[in-house]
Amino acid sequence: MITKRAVLLWYGAFVGGAFLVLCMFVGFRIYDAVYGVWPNFRNYEKAMKAYQEGSLKEKDGTVELPAELARGTIDRRMYVTHEPWGEVYVFRTWAGRLPDFRGYAFVKRPEDAAGTSMELVVLGWNGSEKAQVDLKRTDREGWYKASSVLN
């Protein structure tokens, strides 16, 4: 026989578990908004390969990424720009007010891009804006930290 106490205990455990899951979900969203998302270089490389093979299309310097390739980006986009030193692929991991962002950039000819800046059109909630992006070398071949944070 199921007692009233057993039903209340089960109900309390269910509600408590659901509340915990909700708190975790909201907590992760807040963390992403404040600190950004963790970079996923494997997905970045898959996205660049898909773009080069033609399965992803560019529109005004922006490539919308499918869900399976979007992990590791704050806005599910890859930005492509054509600089004198080659194509540059930018993935944003943190976004502030336009045009502020941080992320990673891949440069095909990294020897020519060290310590340089470039201009990039960044999309946000209220449209797009040009950002002056600074590139700083990382320990990964061809990868740079990209930032346009205005202080």
Question: Would you give the end-to-end CA distance of the chain in angstroms?
Answer: 66
Q: What is the DSSP letter of 59?
A: B
What pLDDT, on a 0 to 100 scale, did the predictor assign at position 37? Answer: 82
What's the pLDDT tens digit per position in 99-125?
778 899 898 766 655 566 777 777 665
17 and 73 part of one domain: no
Which residues form the domain of 8? 1-35
81 and 140 part of one domain: yes
What's the pLDDT tens digit per position in 48-67?
999 999 999 998 888 999 99
50 and 89 part of one domain: yes
30 and 47 part of one domain: no
14 and 57 part of one domain: no
| Integer CA distances (angstroms), 36 to 71, 74, 114, 118, in order | 12, 7, 24, 22
What's the pLDDT tens digit per position in 12-21?
667 666 666 6
87 and 75 part of one domain: yes
